[in-house]
Amino acid sequence: MTATFDLVNSPWIPCIDKEGRRGELGLLEALVRAHELAELRDESPLTTVALHRLLLAVLHASLEGPKDHKAWKALWEAGRWDPGKVERYLKKWRSRFDLFDEQYPFFQVGGFEITGKEGTPVTKLTHELATGNIKTLFDHTVEERPTAVSPGVAARWLVACQSYSLGGGVGATSNRFKKHPNFTHAPMVGGVAVLLQGTSLFETLTLNLVVNAEEGPVPTKGNDKPTWEQDRIDGPSERRPRGLMEFLTWRARMVRLLPEVREGSLVVENMHFASGWELAGRDNNPSWGYVSDPKKGLMPVGLREGRDLWRDSSALLTVIQETDGGRNKRPASLELMNQLVEREVLPPTATLRLLTLGIANDKAKVLFWRRDAWNVPACLVQDSAVAARLLAALSAAEVAGKATYAALSNFKEHFKEGLAEIRDRGMAAYWGALDTPFRRLVADIAAPSGRAIDAWLAAVVASSRDALEDATDNVQRRSARELQARVDARGLLEWKLKQVTRTGREIIDGIV
């Protein structure tokens, strides 16, 4: 029996309808019914991002655009995808969307084999299960006890792997490409993906369907195609993508799944697996925001242990700003929104919902993953004066954070032994307490009265004081030294907080 799994019609993409019901759909139904669905959402945020990238690539290819803002507006106003165009495209390339096609299996290499190896556990495709050097996030599956999964699960893992696989490890030797280079990071590793979310899957996809022109977010060089349209598969090497569609379907790994039948059901337990294309340059990812570094150039905004993402929100949300002689760059979807507000395609009073998703890693080790959502007024994306308020507010929080750190250090230094955790615990409490106030600040920051800024500064000061008090309350020594340490730390903090409040008000008074 020839194995087959048709991704166009077979259910495998996890979606939620507007009634909150969950289910899996094929590619065609997910796109044709996108206006009826609330969202595409997998348990793994990495798979969620990767599946959005796949659907966007299908749309860019089937719609042949949008090439400009006029074409984008027409798509938005239609309220749904043209089912004829989508169906014709998927029908034309249907065999390339068969997960087990002999010549062109979807996102894989036909006939591909690793020399001297019968197979690698399919769990190596996902960070949620542990194989080899990959550290587990959620489970404890190991290579000695491999897991067989359904074709739909294998397809989701395969798509996610091409976006989020980690580098590290020696390259294998294959029958198609001989010696492979060592493993490198897939294109979405190292930064936080930003997705604009609408009231339906159609709106979400449209809001992230950036204008795809020669001078677009990923410049087109040559014949840009999604990888399933490419008859000849380039060997593993370092290069830049030919354009946006190839970037969205980048072959970070060369793979061939090995299907088998067990108890009458088609499953996948093993595969052939090796390094693929290495992305040359990571300064042009349309879903990332970048901060300019005077020495390193544009650096993607990423997740870091002990640092909440909202602290870097100005680089993700606001208009391009000068930084140490360089220029920050925000995600392409937000730049598109800026231009659409300027052209009055979208109203400046609109509220945008941003999803931020990504992983933090240490080389080949996953540290943690995170999914977050913010409601952001469109004026923050478009209005430089409102953006300046956000930048000032964040600066005030950073200054207060340094004041809190200094006060906690002052307290700790009164004691020769122990208390090493006091400062870390206090700083974690300070930043953690500002998450909700920050969301309120962003939602209300456009108000001309300045009340949102006043409320934010009050929250910053209160969080700083609370962090110091809560951290030092855990010290049960009740000695003269401890009492003096408290007095000194409080005095230092209050002196520095006066500077924070005064400086913050001076900045804000100049822009409100």
Higher pLDDT, 424 or 204: 204
Q: Which two tokens stand for residue 12?
A: 């495998």
- Strands 13-17 and 37-40: what pairing? antiparallel
Average pLDDT over residues 355-359: 92
What is the residue whose two structure tokens read 């009265």? 449
158: exposed, middle or buried (C-beta count within 10 Å: 0-12, 13-18, 19+)?
Answer: buried
What is the residue whose two structure tokens read 């943690």? 368
What is the residue whose two structure tokens read 């294959």? 174
Distances (CA, A) of 15 to 25, 126, 386: 7, 20, 35
Higher pLDDT, 492 or 420: 492
Torsion from C-alpha of 270, 271, 272, 273, nearest 10 degrees: -100
- Residue 130 is predicted with a pLDDT of 47
Average pLDDT over residues 191-196: 94
Please count the other Cβ atoms lying within 10 Å of the Cβ belonging to residue 251.
Answer: 20
Distances (CA, A) of 390 to 285, 322, 379, 511: 24, 15, 12, 11
Average pLDDT over residues 220-234: 90
pLDDT digits (tens, 9 = 90+) for 288-343: 999 888 888 888 999 988 888 998 888 788 755 554 556 788 898 888 888 888 88
- What angle, 0 to 180 degrees and rounded to 10, lies between the N-to-C axes of helices 384-412 and 420-432? 160
* DSSP 8-state class, residue 373: E
- Residue 1 is predicted with a pLDDT of 61
Summary mean pLDDT of the chain: 87
> To the nearest whole percent, how much of the chain has pLDDT over 90?
55
Alpha helices in 255-414 (DSSP H): 313-317, 332-342, 378-382, 384-412
- Residue 425 is predicted with a pLDDT of 86
Cβ–Cβ under 8 Å, residues 408 and 422: yes
Number of helical (H) and strand (E) elements in the chain, helices listed first? 15, 17
Comparing 63-72, 350-359, 408-417, which segment has the lowest mean pLDDT? 408-417
Distances (CA, A) of 5 to 10, 49, 111, 127: 7, 22, 17, 24
pLDDT category of residue 225 using cuts at 50, 70 and 90: very high
Distance CA 30, CA 8 (A): 9
pLDDT category of residue 415 using cuts at 50, 70 and 90: low
Query: Does the structure show a pLDDT above 70 at 89?
Result: yes
pLDDT category of residue 347 using cuts at 50, 70 and 90: confident
What is the three-class DSSP state of 178? Answer: strand
Higher pLDDT, 474 or 380: 380
- Residue 326 is predicted with a pLDDT of 60
Q: Where are the domains of the chain?
A: 385-512
What is the three-class DSSP state of 414? Answer: coil
Average pLDDT over residues 419-444: 88
Cβ–Cβ under 8 Å, residues 321 and 390: no
Query: Does the structure show a pLDDT above 80 at 481?
Result: no
Name the nearest CA neighbour of 143 among 165, 113, 118.
118
As beta bridge partners, residue 368 has 360
Span 385-512 CATH architecture? Orthogonal Bundle (1.10)
Q: Which two tokens stand for residue 167?
A: 């580098």
pLDDT category of residue 227 using cuts at 50, 70 and 90: very high
- Residue 482 is predicted with a pLDDT of 74
Q: Which two tokens stand for residue 67?
A: 């090439």
Higher pLDDT, 474 or 441: 441
- What angle, 0 to 180 degrees and rounded to 10, lies between the N-to-C axes of helices 384-412 and 435-444? 160
Distance CA 4, CA 219 (A): 36
Give the amino acid at 103.
Q
Half-sphere exposure of 50 (CA within 13 A, CB side): 30
Distances (CA, A) of 327 to 99, 288, 323: 43, 14, 6
Average pLDDT over residues 204-230: 86
- Residue 419 is predicted with a pLDDT of 60
Query: Does the structure show a pLDDT above 70 at 418?
Result: no
Distance CA 248, CA 187 (A): 9
CA 400 to chain centre: 28
Query: Does the structure show a pLDDT above 80 at 260?
Result: yes
Cβ–Cβ under 8 Å, residues 34 and 81: yes
pLDDT digits (tens, 9 = 90+) for 95-154: 999 999 999 999 999 999 999 888 999 999 998 654 444 444 444 444 455 689 999 999
Q: Which two tokens stand for residue 264?
A: 């009458």
